[in-house]
Amino acid sequence: VPVFLFVAAPYIRRYVAGGRCKSTARLEGKVVIITGANTGIGKETARDLAQRGKVIIACRDIAKGEAAASEIRAETGNQQVTVKKLDLADTKSIREFAEKFLAEEKELHILINNAGVMLCPYSKTADGFEMHLGVNHLGHFLLTFLLLERLKQSAPARIVNVSSLAHHGGRIRFHDLHGEKSYNRGLAYCHSKLANLLFTRELARRLQGKFQRQAEFTANALHPGSVYSELVRHSFVMTWLWKIFSFFLKTPCEGAQTSIYCAVAEELDSVTGQYFSDCQPAYVSPRGRDDETAKKLWSVSCELLGIQWD
């Protein structure tokens, strides 16, 4: 068995690594925002895109963000890697981020909604939303709403939402969106990842027909794979398991490949409302294809955030 594992190890790792983004597309003169890019797959996405164009790291922890940006600037030689404060668990912070960005930048070509929380003990955001739903879905929903016009003005533009295979276990529980009646932190994560998919689907539907060419504006979602990162930090058991089975998990760089693919691949110029994994189309659960639920979630999200988005 040890000999077999030794021989098979390179093949196992190659399989685990999954697809790679092969696009060499440049982003000169283009602006990219990546949320949560101070660590994990977000940081690796920023590292790759910084070799192509201007990158803004939007994160809650400015110190970690600056450390990541400094490392990326030194490695890529691109000084156009900056950090902006963004706390997705606080709508005030989201609005302040958007206001400052719009005042400083005249264009935005790619928005990667990457940041997320996973397996949190029950808690609420500053606005009273359940933490997974508030950060993973509502925070990015509001951020996209506030930046949408700038994206439209800068078209061709892309919105990339990091969802997960976990959406298969999710449900949109309209009767208990904030988990006040019953709460399971694993399921709460699944619910929020399903919300990411439904948001992507409904956003793409609403954008269709708004432009002369569909290639001018797309929105897609993705599953990054099972990645060895800090995302499981709220669970001692998962952290322990992740360490034991790290050989069978993607590295953050491998996990970032599909985000990069959705952001730059030329063959996706006119592809919208789709879901990808390992840099190729992936199966979406029936709940993830439910247009009525997607429309209702959109309406409820607007109501919770106090916005009108028609």
42-60 pLDDT, tens digit per residue, is 999 999 999 999 999 999 9
The residues with which 35 forms a beta bridge, in sequence order, are: 58
The per-residue pLDDT for 74 is: 98
* Number of residues in the chain: 310
In angstroms, the CA 94 to CA 98 distance is 6
Q: Say yes or no to pLDDT of 271 above 50.
A: yes
* Residue 132: Cβ-neighbour burial (10 angstroms; 0-12, 13-18, 19+): buried
What is the pLDDT, as a whole number, of residue 11? 47
Q: Dihedral sign for Cα 82, 21, 109, 198, please.
A: negative
Q: What is the pLDDT of residues 185-199, one digit of tens each?
A: 999 999 999 999 999
Q: What is the pLDDT of residues 80-107, one digit of tens each?
A: 999 999 999 999 999 999 999 999 999 9
Asked if omega into 156 is within 30° of 0 (cis), the reply is yes
- Give 5's pLDDT tier (boundaries 50, 70, 90): very low
Residue 70: other Cβ atoms inside 10 A: 12
Angle at 44 between CA 129 and CA 55, to 5 degrees: 80
- Identify the residue whose tokens are 């668990």: 89
The CATH code that applies to domain 1-305 is 3.40.50.720
Q: Which two tokens stand for residue 14?
A: 């190659």
Q: What percent of the chain has pLDDT over 70?
A: 85
β-pair partners for 275: 221
111: left (phi over 0), alpha (psi -120 to 50) or beta: beta
Is 11 in the active site?
no
- At residue 102, φ and ψ (nearest 5 deg) are -65, -30
Cross-sheet strand order for the sheet of 53-59: 81-85, 53-59, 27-35, 110-113, 157-162, 217-223, 275-277, 280-281
Question: Quick one: which H or E segment has residue 127?
Answer: none
**Rounded to an integer, what distance in angstroms lies between the CA atom of residue 309 and that of residue 235?**
36
- 85 - beta bridge partners? 59
pLDDT per position as a tens digit, 153-187 = 999 999 999 999 999 999 999 999 999 999 999 99
Give the β-pairing of 53-59 and 27-35: parallel
Q: Which residue has the higher pLDDT, 307 or 234?
A: 307
Output the pLDDT for position 235: 56
Q: Where are the domains of the chain?
A: 1-305
Catalytic residue among 122, 189, 228, 261: 189
